[in-house]
Structure 1
Amino acid sequence: MDKDFIKINTTPWENVEIARHKDRPNGKYYIDNIFKDFIEFHGDRTFGDDKSIIGGIASFNDINVTVIAITKGSNTIENIERNFGMPNPEGYRKALRLMKQAEKFKRPIICFVDTPGAFPGIGAEERGQGQAIANNLFELSRLKTPIISIITGEGGSGGALALAVADRIFMLEHSVYSILTPEGFASILWKDASRAKEAATVMKITAKDLKGFNIIDDVIKEPRGGAHKNPAKLAEVMKKSILDSLTELREKDLDTLISERYDKFRAMGNFY
């Protein structure tokens, strides 16, 4: 076994801290280091361009694909520019525009998700945040092209799910995926945000937990200590996971693909 990928035991809260680490590679890093010839597209053709979501077309192993990433910045200035990875409705509408384009031109879709949640500001609500997310969920459920989604850091609530209704869902080993942040959960349930560590355990938000519940398809191992310890090596591991899944999914006829996607999420609904 590669010594850089030897598993270390972490608590759920430690996973949250690693997922939020300031040096953790973001969506832009994965796009630059996994794909070739990326061309970014901008805007939702309705309001504006949300920089918390990057999307466009690229080449992956000589396959034309559409790549979409909810991304945080790599420094304070970029974090502000990208709204700390919290998309507005125009971001989700941009993503949907690119997804529909991918369907038209028969390009598989690969999504990278890292968000504490959709932006809860007044302006976002006025511009239809809930509807934008709901439209993505509806359209992704029946989109006639393979979809792969990878939770790379935080996968927060509907803001993450809007890019995660996919044929294959992966989580990085130290990422988290939940209905809201542990701080928000503790504030609502116990009226005490200081109990966030306890909430992280109760919520079952780790990759190991969610794989056990069949919410995700597989866990992608991270370098010892987290993705930020060796991003280049992790990118190579992610490439293999994407290629293996893409090869399998592209062999399915579209009716089978959509039917299996539907059954997958119906089974999750029955679980809850």
Structure 2
Amino acid sequence: MSRPSKLTTIHEQSRSYNKIKSKEIIDHIYREFVPYYEIPDFPMQITAPSGAVIEIVDDPAVIVGTAVLNKTGKRVAVIAQLMPSNDAERARLNYGLVKADGYALSYNMMCFAEDNGLMLHTYIDTIGGDPFEYSAGKLQSWLISDCQAKMISLGTKSISTVIGSGGSGGAIALQLAHKRFMLSRAEFSVITAEGCSAILFRSADNIEEALEVLQPTSEFMLKYGIVDKVIKEPALESSDYRRKILVNIEKTILAATDELEKSDIRYLHGNLVSKIQECGEVEKREHTYQAIARKIKSWLPHYSFSRTATSEVSHMQIALYGAEPHFCNDEKDQDGKIVRAGCRKHFAKEEFQKNYYACPYCEKPNSIGSHDYLDLLLNSDSFHELHSDLSVDDIDSRFSFHDYSDTRKKNAGRIDSKDSLVVGYGDMFDIPVAVAVSEFRFMGG
């Protein structure tokens, strides 16, 4: 039997019950911890963009409060995600999934730290934000994005440390600090390896291949500038694991705290924004002929180019039908097998849209593409795309991504997009917004 790879080993260790947990770190390197519910007038509500007031309750999967950092005597704000350390804790801690209440508490603590001049220390350990109906009803996605925005613009100094699982936006919500650290046996990724495997390889069992795609370990996070330093972590099975890792974490946090206290907040803010902007930077620039073509298109009638020609729809067909047509064709998987048969009828796309994106004859549903989402979300004709036909080929060459060109070729012609992301800006209810829409028909998004 072959030995597991380094990626697989770290992936398994990052979730291990034996791994150091945030509560142990707080108990060791801080003292006089005051939980948020003992802080006078700490807000237990948050106001949604609509003006609705959301009531907050406790979330056991996140520790929120203030504490005195040992050896400095300085009080700081602390936000720490908490993963289960045994089977008995799994249900109580919601399997490490932070609920909307946890992110609302985190956001309010960020504001409290800012208002009271407290440095912010965050510890990341979650497989992701809670995806269930309860949190969705409390605007989970908005709260996570609000935490991200607040971290970037925070008016007080901050330190973040990924200590175990760093999963999806729920982890990023607390990671965008002025000093960013990561334990050497932790991981940080946009999706779990199991989820990535299910999307790319149609099986949750191809963990090794998924990890090669995700590159979630500290080695890659340091290489790509996602973290500033990796904190060395001894073997989990070693007898003095906890003593050594706590010493290493404390030493790093103390040094970073001292360095930040001597730094100007405006410099730190500019440096953080610059580092974030470098991630996934586009290397190629639009060629002259592409810029000219784009200008010509802007002068011509909008309907002439309302959709890119594909193997199913051409500009000639649009002209013949007098409107953009829709064809109820068979739906096929990447290998060409029919997964959902269509009735083969054709009709105006508008008729299809009015029937909630289902065929008005056979009621076959259709997955909504990125441009359909943009039509639904934004004011008419307000969207302006940046980096047209953005592809993984356009990413800065210092980012070494998994080669999935064969899979991309199989998807060619099935959808309008060359890859899985459309980015740009427009107006939503007359409010200017930046937009990034995932094309879920392209390999699951």
Query: After superposition, where does 1:1-272 map in structure 2 within 5 Å?
Result: 11-42=6-37, 44-45=44-45, 46-60=55-69, 61-225=72-236, 230-270=241-281
Query: Greater helix percent: which structure?
Result: 1
User: What do the CA deviations read for 1:156-211 (whole angstroms, capped 9, x no partner)?
Assistant: 01010000111111110110000010000000111110101221122111101111
Letter in 2 for 1:163: L
Structure with higher RCO (Cα < 8 A, 6+ apart): 1
Letter in 2 for 1:114: D
Partner SS for 1:113: strand
Letter in 1 for 2:34: I
Give the Cα–Cα distance (whole angstroms) in 2 for the partners of residues 44 and 79 of structure 1. 26
User: What do the CA deviations read for 1:94-142 (whole angstroms, capped 9, x no partner)?
Assistant: 0111111011111111111111111111111121111000110111111
Give the match for residue 3 of structure 1: none
Greater Cα offset, 240-249 or 157-166: 240-249
Shift in Å, 1:227: 8.4
Greater Cα offset, 105-114 or 224-233: 224-233
Give the Cα–Cα distance (whole angstroms) in 2 for the partners of residues 164 and 243 of structure 1. 18
Conservation of the 8 A alpha-carbon contact between 1:13 and 1:197: yes
Greater Cα offset, 24-33 or 260-269: 260-269
Partner SS for 1:141: helix
Partner SS for 1:270: coil
* Paired residues, number: 264
Structure 1 pair 228–266 and aligned structure 2 pair: CA distance change class (3 A): farther
Conservation of the 8 A alpha-carbon contact between 2:56 and 2:104: no
Partner SS for 2:255: helix
Give the Cα–Cα distance (whole angstroms) in 1 for the partners of residues 16 and 261 of structure 2. 35
Conservation of the 8 A alpha-carbon contact between 1:157 and 1:179: yes
Shift in Å, 1:17: 0.6
User: What do the CA deviations read for 1:68-119 (whole angstroms, capped 9, x no partner)?
Assistant: 1010132223221111221111100101111110111111111111111111
Greater Cα offset, 228-237 or 50-59: 228-237
Structure 1 pair 259–228 and aligned structure 2 pair: CA distance change class (3 A): farther
Conservation of the 8 A alpha-carbon contact between 1:23 and 1:228: no
Conservation of the 8 A alpha-carbon contact between 2:18 and 2:236: no
Give the Cα–Cα distance (whole angstroms) in 2 for the partners of residues 183 and 229 of structure 1. 32
Give the Cα–Cα distance (whole angstroms) in 2 for the partners of residues 249 and 228 of structure 1. 34
Give the Cα–Cα distance (whole angstroms) in 1 for the partners of residues 5 and 179 of structure 2. 25
Structure 1 pair 226–172 and aligned structure 2 pair: CA distance change class (3 A): farther
User: What do the CA deviations read for 1:203-232 (whole angstroms, capped 9, x no partner)?
Assistant: 111101111111111110011346886112
Conservation of the 8 A alpha-carbon contact between 2:33 and 2:67: yes
TM-score (normalised: structure 1): 0.92
Letter in 2 for 1:47: I
Give the Cα–Cα distance (whole angstroms) in 2 for the partners of residues 158 and 28 of structure 1. 22
Cα RMSD (Å) of the superposition? 1.8
Letter in 1 for 2:136: E
Letter in 2 for 1:253: D
Letter in 1 for 2:203: D
Conservation of the 8 A alpha-carbon contact between 1:25 and 1:227: no
Letter in 2 for 1:237: N
Give the Cα–Cα distance (whole angstroms) in 1 for the partners of residues 135 and 147 of structure 2. 16
Letter in 2 for 1:13: T
Give the Cα–Cα distance (whole angstroms) in 1 for the partners of residues 218 and 20 of structure 2. 18
Structure 1 pair 194–34 and aligned structure 2 pair: CA distance change class (3 A): same
Segments of structure 2 that go 5 or more residues without pairing to the other structure are 38-42, 46-54, 283-394, 396-445
Conservation of the 8 A alpha-carbon contact between 2:144 and 2:173: yes
Higher-Rg member (1/2): 2
Letter in 2 for 1:231: R
Give the Cα–Cα distance (whole angstroms) in 2 for the partners of residues 253 and 211 of structure 1. 24
